[in-house]
Copies of this chain bind each other. A is one copy, B any other.
Amino acid sequence: MAPPFPLPAPMRRALHLARQAQAAGEVPIGAVVTRDGVIIGEGENRNRRDRDPTAHAEIVALRAAATWLDDFRLTGCDLWVTLEPCPMCAGAIAHARIARLYYAAADPKGGAIEQGPRLFTQPQCLHRPDVYAGLAEAEASALLRDFFAARR
């Protein structure tokens, strides 16, 4: 079934990065940072390859964008990711001052945006991006489902 509107290019790129991660034996998650619609940072899950417990797609993309901007605040930038961010990544998104968060599939087991600690609704949270969920949800979910089914 064709989607009701064309998938925005950054989310298409994030899905591509997720597939690349999968091909490398990593959990298939991809992320992209844009400013004014232009990609300025991207990342895919690299925990195993980089031996890095923090190397989720979002963290890799945020660090790349910050290097590109030469600033530790990504004010006015958007993050596109194929899965609902975990507490670590949600915290990083707030620290980075991301303006808009777009994510594809919800993550009932590890997500921290619309379930679990719902970090952006905590009174402590100093910065809350606008959140848009569900873009390319079916495609991102299928990637993860197939990956975990193949490992069982």
Contact = CB atoms under 8 A, between A and B. Distances in A.
Interface of A: 47-48, 50-55, 59, 62-63, 66-67, 69-74, 86-92, 94-97, 109-110, 112, 115-117, 119, 122-124, 126
Contacts of A59: 54
Contact of A124 (B47, B115, B122): B115
Contact of A54 (B50, B62, B124): B62
A122 B118 CA distance: 11
Contacts of A122: 87, 116-117
A62 B94 CA distance: 20
A62 B53 contact: yes
A96 B66 CA distance: 24
